[in-house]
Amino acid sequence: MPNRLINETSPYLLQHAHNPVDWYPWGEEALRRAREEDKPILVSIGYSACHWCHVMERESFENEDVARVMNELVVSIKVDREERPDLDQVYMTAVQTLTGSGGWPLNVFITPEGKPIFGGTYFPPEDRDGAAGFPRVLRAVAQAYRTRREELSGAGEKLGAQLRRSLAPGPVVEPLTADVLKKAYRGLQTQFDYENGGFGAAPKFPHSMALDFLLRYYVRTNEPPALQIVEAALTAMARGGIHDQLGGGFHRYSTDAHWLAPHFEKMLYDNALLARLYLHAYQVTGKPLYRAVAADTLDYVVREMTSPEGGFYSAQDADSEGVEGKFYVWTQREILQVIGEEDARVFNRYFGVTKEGNFEGKSILYQPQGVEAIAEELGFKPQELEEIILRSKKRLLEARQRRVKPATDDKVLTAWNGLMLAAFAEAANILCTGHGSPCPYGDVARANANLMLCELKQGPLLLRSYKDGQAKIPGYLEDYANLIDGLLALHEATLELRWLAEARALADTMIDEFWDDSEKAFYDTGRHHEALFLRPREASDNVTPSGNSNAASVLLRLAVVTGNRDYAGLGATALRSAKGMMLDYPAGAGNWLSTLDFYLSAPKEIAIIGPRDDPRTAALLSAVYSRFIPGRVLVGRDTTLNEAVEGLPLLEGRDMVDGRPTVYICENYACLQPVTEPEELRRLLA
């Protein structure tokens, strides 16, 4: 018989709907029962693609004996961390403070008032290797709750006060200067793995935002080592097993230092951030590899992670048929059966496939060497080798699609969709505009924005999650900031002013909901959220940009677009609060650093006027996007649309010159002569 989770839409919660545990979703019903029965609450937090979450479910939550203990001693609540990042952040911070570590699954015991008592991550089903089994933990917590209530409550109060102090932004009065960027750059240099690419050792994460900052730093300073770091990392990831060599896109992280063996789950946010990073690297270097990786990542999202309505799904699991990575790995025999002996010989050499394998007796596909070296060794011209690899990949991908696929978490999250919306919108200009071939990226971006604004916006407010026609949960700061970011990029791709209007309206709501004027800071939860024992405020850029850093970024850009100095003031205040983090922990402040780079620039203001579908307009846009210009703001007007430009000073009073699509460029309060020729525009932008 299913439990209460059967009525939820989250795929993660639905995975637990048939557990013998008497699960509740987070809400007043569970809290009230805990108060009435005078029991502690277990809050178990995870997400659908989490490998160890699945392990604990199989071992404990599907175990009748363990479930009986849970149902007797505690009120059990299941939380999807992707739907409720506020609960995840509050209780993860508490557990890390209590135990010194954290992760998922996160299992925290709280009082009916929400104060944490004890917590940890994975617990085995019985005592094992010196670790207490989950039933022993349950009994110990229940006993302590009965006999040491006041002590536990007092400790929870002290912990809450400590955490509130740690989350409060410190006053920063020193000016922000380019010296912060330089020191952060030096810090990232010391953390870089020059042998394998990337930062740190195993496990190794992409650190997309830190690498994007280094690209910006290279453009700012022309220091070759900054670009060398980025290229070393991007090339190593592109050739490694973290990159799905057949299907495109990236797995979450590498379990080794060499980018070979990934943790096989695929997350929407990683692929959004990496797609943008490879697009920017292509703009800087012109290298076909970076263009190809960006395109295969976006194509993967279109093929496997996009709903018929235009929403982007959240994740794909690491496991299939209960085995991690089974969907992605190959044996020599399997490859031979699909593509034949001669192509298999070439394919196996190219992708490092051996009889022994490199992962539990099978092979993760990776590229141990470049095309030229392998072509020379095998006696092919590089183009001939690439043709063999291309046709082999196509046939093997078709064969792989017939395997049992990993589960897809098909909920649509506003914040993550905003990141991917921006990636598709940028790709529409960088990869498509002016290139003459049909390209779906702009249509994909427009469909996504329409879905977001129709289904996940109610009045002026955003909601967090959408699935099966149902939108729910008040949006968080990151939902607003990331969607605004995506809408700004979509305006650049389409020149339609309605996206700017939506972005500005959301920015005003974001300020009203999340800005605390007494603290001079943004918080992650707004006026319409329930009050937790701690109001969360995540400042660091972890695997996604923090709501704070992206709020600062979009407000600083909107200030240029609209001339609203209040936006600039709030963005700068938020930026100053992160100065210490940028200096002390640059790898966790990548988006802050990119925002600071923009703040310290004299933005190049680019206005383009003309019919968007006119090839001459496309040629001008192509000239703009042929290079990476971090310190620029682009606005435009499609002259075939009857859209008002009031409140957009960069467009007011500007029109086409002699009936031709025209670009206006201003910088440092001075404007150049209007430009109608792409080559002249390229010269001015250089």
* Strand ranges for 417-460 from DSSP E: 457-458
Q: Is 184 left (phi over 0), alpha (psi -120 to 50) or beta?
A: alpha
Residue 608 in tokens: 């383009």
pLDDT band at 668 (very low <50, low <70, confident <90, very high): confident
Q: What is the pLDDT of residues 581-604, one digit of tens each?
A: 999 999 999 999 999 999 999 899
Q: What is the pTM of this model?
A: 0.95
pLDDT band at 533 (very low <50, low <70, confident <90, very high): confident
Q: What is the pLDDT of residues 427-456, one digit of tens each?
A: 999 999 766 667 899 999 999 999 999 999
pLDDT band at 172 (very low <50, low <70, confident <90, very high): low
Cβ atoms 200, 191 nearer than 8 A: yes
Give the C-alpha separation, 541 to 546, whole Å: 5
Looking at the predicted structure, is the pLDDT value of residue 270 above 90? yes
Containing 148, the helix (H) or strand (E) segment is: none
**pLDDT, average across residues 661-682:** 92
Q: What is the pLDDT of residues 478-526, one digit of tens each?
A: 999 999 999 999 999 999 999 999 999 999 999 999 999 988 889 999 9
Amino acid found at 405: K
- Of the candidates 300, 293, 276, which has an alpha carbon nearest to the alpha carbon of residue 211? 276
Which pLDDT does position 477 carry in this prediction?
98
How are the residues of the chain apportioned to helix, strand and coil, as percentages rounded to the nearest 5? 50, 15, 35
Domains contained in the chain, CATH given? 4-167 (3.40.30.10), 178-321+409-600 (1.50.10.10), 328-402 (1.10.10), 604-685 (3.40.30)
Looking at the predicted structure, is the pLDDT value of residue 170 above 80? no
Q: Among 157-166, 301-310, 386-395, whose mean pLDDT is lowest?
A: 157-166
**pLDDT, average across residues 622-631:** 95
Looking at the predicted structure, is the pLDDT value of residue 577 above 70? yes
Q: Among 142-146, 231-235, 431-435, 609-613, whose mean pLDDT is lowest?
A: 431-435
Q: Among 26-35, 37-46, 400-409, 436-445, whose mean pLDDT is lowest?
A: 436-445
Q: What is the pLDDT of residues 458-484, one digit of tens each?
A: 999 999 999 999 999 999 999 999 999
In the chain, the percentage of residues whose pLDDT exceeds 90 is 86
Cβ atoms 215, 281 nearer than 8 A: yes
Residue 375 sits at φ, ψ, to 5 deg, of -60, -45
Which pLDDT does position 506 carry in this prediction?
98
Looking at the predicted structure, is the pLDDT value of residue 362 above 90? yes
Which pLDDT does position 166 carry in this prediction?
75
Looking at the predicted structure, is the pLDDT value of residue 2 above 90? yes
Give the C-alpha separation, 2 to 605, whole Å: 58
Q: What is the pLDDT of residues 202-260, one digit of tens each?
A: 999 999 999 999 999 999 999 999 999 999 999 999 999 999 999 999 999 999 999 99
**315, β-bridge pairs:** 267, 409
Containing 254, the helix (H) or strand (E) segment is: strand 253-254
Q: What is the pLDDT of residues 40-66, one digit of tens each?
A: 999 999 998 888 899 999 999 999 999
